[in-house]
Amino acid sequence: MPRLFLYPIMTPQTDITTLEDIKLLVDTFYSKVQKDEFIGPIFNEKIGDRWPEHLEKMYRFWQTILLEVHSYSGSPFPPHKQLPVAKEHFDRWMEIFTQTTDSLFVGPLAEEAKLRAKNMAEMFHYKIDYFRNLEKNQTNNS
């Protein structure tokens, strides 16, 4: 009879506490996004060869939100305003973000990251729909 070796399932043991943690989260998340069949093409077309710049901006964004190190300034919504996305895209983005966060970290800041991501996805979706409907109404009234 063969011997079975049981290996413990690796579970995250620490919370997000440093810039290195944020880089791990952002890099892991966006590497999954780039390969995702549903949302990957949208990101890859929009960002093109500017992934390093985008990732740097995301490090600063999450560092500001989670670690209160104010390294990000700007408005995150405008670059997303014209993206060809719907609720299903935001749901997939959130699914990947949650899975990535849960696979790497555990603790209050990891939970905060997921909450902030959820709120941002909902707000972006709402605003994109608002501007689309506004443009549609202006076109129909012309």
The amino acid sitting at 119 is N
Q: Tell which residue, 66, 56, 58, 60, has the closest CA to residue 109.
A: 66
43 to each of 2, 66, 141, how far by Cα in Å? Answer: 47, 24, 33
Detail the residues annotated as belonging to a binding site: 80
Joined tokens for residue 62: 């999450």
For the chain, which residues make up each domain, given as ranges? 19-140
Residues 89-124: tens digit of each pLDDT = 999 999 999 999 999 999 999 999 999 999 999 998
- pLDDT, residue 6, reads 56
Residue 3 predicted with pLDDT over 80: no
Q: What does the chain come to in residues?
A: 142
Cα pseudo-dihedral 90, 86, 59, 111, rounded to 10: -20
- pLDDT, residue 130, reads 86
Detail the residues annotated as belonging to a binding site for heme: 80
- Of the options 3.40.50.80, 1.10.490.10, 3.20.20.70, 3.10.150.10, the CATH number for the domain spanning 19-140: 1.10.490.10
